[in-house]
Amino acid sequence: MGVDRDDEAAAKALQEDNDRNQEGFVDSRQQLMIATKAFGMGIDKPNIRVTIHNNFPDSIESFIQEAGRGGRDRRLSVACIIYNDQEVEDPLKDKIYRHDLDLQESFFWNSFKGESHEKWVLYELLNEIISPGRDRVKQLTRILNDHPDILEFGIKVWVKHYEPKNRLYINGPDKQDYGYIQYQTGEFNSQYATVESSKSIVYLRALWSVIQDLAINITPAHMQVWLNESQSSEKKPGIEKILEAKKFGDEFDVLIPFTNEPTEVYQRLAKLVLGILGTAQSPETLKIYTEYCRRSYHPRVDNFLESLDKETGIIQRLETIEKEVPVSVKEFKAKIQVQLNKKRDKQDTEKAIFRFSVIGLIDDYTVDYSNETYVLRGKKKFPEEYHQYPFRKERKY
């Protein structure tokens, strides 16, 4: 799947080919489908007898979900994983690469980041919930879906930014393409849209009106910069703070984003790294090291530093300092670990929500995929109810 959108004729031809293959497989005219996971997960066919993973899923839960493409007619089916136990030595780096084992280790540490990390996630959600900064294109998508001209059609659309050509595309469900805006000139193009031209122009005009409302005094030359601007993160009271203001029996709900703001974590890591390296913290240097920290992120401090060493040579610097002041290196690593713990992703949030439900802190929740948020609902209970809740839940099993 996927093609450079610059070649729109090829993209359209490929999409038609994909649709034809999928229909042939679902109708049992073709017996084999090789696809990306994202494409394959969309297949709902009762009589698939074998699923073969060319790569490991990232968790047991993911494997069960993905292997669930097979045997939907309740007859026997087989799920296979191809595994490579080969080890390759790199003499230049004095390192042995263990293909699938290294991959699985990374999945493991992404799933089980350690007790201190999981405590930090719970602490954040209970005390002060951090919402990530929203990028401008997501903001346009959100506002566009509330536009009266779009609401009239009753479907959700998505805006996509294609920088090299200064274009904003509108896509809809079922792989529909509504054309694009050449935003430097304000021109609409529906030539390669997969819907009728008149409908495409309605959508493009609606998007352009949203941009004009938001981008007051923005010149065409600065439009790309404006589109790439991000809004800063927000901090709101956590669940415990909300409950403090409630009476026993009062209901409450709380909005929690899938993730918090990782950029702030990377920036704090970059400042710590620059400090130990003795490098001046100019805006440009901070930006470069923030990107290093983003690429090197790992929930364990030693793995993070090992990865970061390729860009910065930090391991040698720490070894030099450790000979003179071992305590300072220990303190530095502890500070780094604290910052690594503060990055909350979707999986971390889901674990925390599960834990809250186990003790009865929340009674229910819903997922809003378009806004990437959870809404948690519950009521303030007496302390003894929270103590008894896990036992009642266990008895159900």
Per-residue model confidence as pLDDT tens digits over 343-369? 999 999 999 999 999 999 999 999 987
C-beta separation of 15 from 193 below 8 A: no
What does the CA dihedral 378, 379, 382, 383 come to, rounded to 10 degrees? 30
CA 41/CA 35 separation, integer angstroms: 9
Closest CA to 300 of 112, 130, 128, 102: 112
Give the number of other Cβ atoms within 10 Å of residue 265's Cβ: 21
pLDDT values of the chain reduced to their tens digit, one per residue, 397 residues = 555 556 777 778 888 888 898 889 989 999 999 988 777 777 888 999 999 998 777 777 788 888 889 999 999 999 998 888 888 887 776 678 887 887 777 777 777 889 999 999 999 999 999 988 767 888 888 888 888 888 877 778 888 888 888 999 998 887 789 999 999 888 999 888 888 888 899 999 999 998 888 888 888 888 888 888 766 778 999 999 999 999 999 999 999 999 998 888 999 999 999 999 999 989 999 989 999 999 999 999 998 999 999 889 999 999 999 998 889 999 999 999 999 999 999 999 999 999 999 999 999 999 987 678 999 999 999 999 999 998 888 887 7
The Cα 164–Cα 267 span in angstroms is 28
**DSSP state, residue 217:** T
Write out pLDDT tens, residues 58-70: 777 788 888 889 9
pLDDT score for 317: 94
HSE (side-chain half, CA atoms, 13 Å) at 85 = 0
What is d(CA 334, CA 331) in angstroms, rounded to the nearest whole number? 5
Query: Do residues 179 and 170 make contact, with C-beta atoms less than 8 angstroms apart?
Result: yes
Contacts of 190 (CB under 8 A, 6+ apart): 178, 179, 197, 200, 201, 204
Token representation of residue 359: 């003790």
